[in-house]
Amino acid sequence: MKLKEVDRTAMQAWSPAQNHPIYLATGTSAQQLDATFSTNASLEIFELDLSDPSLDMKSCATFSSSHRYHKLIWGPHKMDSKGNISGVLIAGGENGNIILYDPSKIIAGDKEVVIAQNDKHTGPVRALDVNIFQTNLVASGANESEIYIWDLNNFATPMTPGAKTQPLEDISCIAWNRQVQHILASASPSGRATVWDLRKNEPIIKVSDHNNRMHCSGLAWHPEVATQMVLASEDDRLPVVQVWDLRFASTPLRVLENHARYHAALSTNIIVYF
């Protein structure tokens, strides 16, 4: 059942769970054009009002941006205990840049909404995730196997989880483990996934599809079982989802193949795959 819709060519991010009311942020997608062929870019915030019977979501604010985005997430860093609008919008740009925005200032109509910006990455930043245990920690991934761990309290100098994986590949998705705070996973379009232990500062296991069927576009950890994760393919010709258990990492635990189109996203809030 469709409740609401937003017609935008955009990346999107929901406000953190503790936030009320519920907001949806959208940022103009990189390497995509809408039907008007517009080259403008913006960040827009919508409010989810389920008491309104219409399908349209109410637009609360729009900020004209000079950037287009490959990834957008909304972290709860510095959100107050009452869930007032705050947190931080974290955007991955086209030119190796990560931009931090203050959503409360966007909604207030302020012009100075950028908290900080860093362009340390090489190439587009396609992967971002916030650590749910330490919400000031953000992982990012870009070209040439680049992965950085950022502290939002000290955004100038990131750390790495270890030496770059070989051969060098683009990082298409990245995810913090939902049970063990120092475990991180990254994946590439080739279908190879690497699990990192930040305490050891090195990869501890790698998994890959030996049949070379995966063009990985999605990665998510099981919310309750620390050793299980799913990888999803972006290829319409073979839109598979693979369930992996790292205790038996030679082959996928399950392969789900009944989707008709590629997988744009995965969510750990729904565990039906497991």
* Local confidence band at 273 (pLDDT 50, 70, 90 cut-offs): very low
In terms of Cα–Cα distance, which of 173, 97, 96, 99 is closest to 139? 173
The domain segmentation of the chain, as residue ranges, is 1-121, 161-274
CATH 3.20.20.10 fits 161-274, yes or no: no
pLDDT at 181: 97
Q: Helices marked H in 2-132 — which ranges?
A: 103-108
pLDDT tens track for 179-208: 999 999 999 988 899 999 999 999 999 998
pLDDT tens track for 99-119: 999 999 999 999 999 999 999
pTM for the model: 0.89
Task: Specify the 3-state DSSP secondary structure of 196.
Answer: strand
pLDDT at 81: 58
Higher pLDDT, 66 or 80: 66
The reply to whether domains 1-121 and 161-274 share a CATH topology is yes
Classified by CATH at the fold level, domain 1-121 comes out as Methylamine Dehydrogenase; Chain H (2.130.10)
d(CA 222, CA 239): 20
d(CA 61, CA 23): 11
* Local confidence band at 209 (pLDDT 50, 70, 90 cut-offs): confident
pLDDT at 258: 66
Contacts of 59 (CB under 8 A, 6+ apart): 44, 45, 46
pLDDT at 64: 93
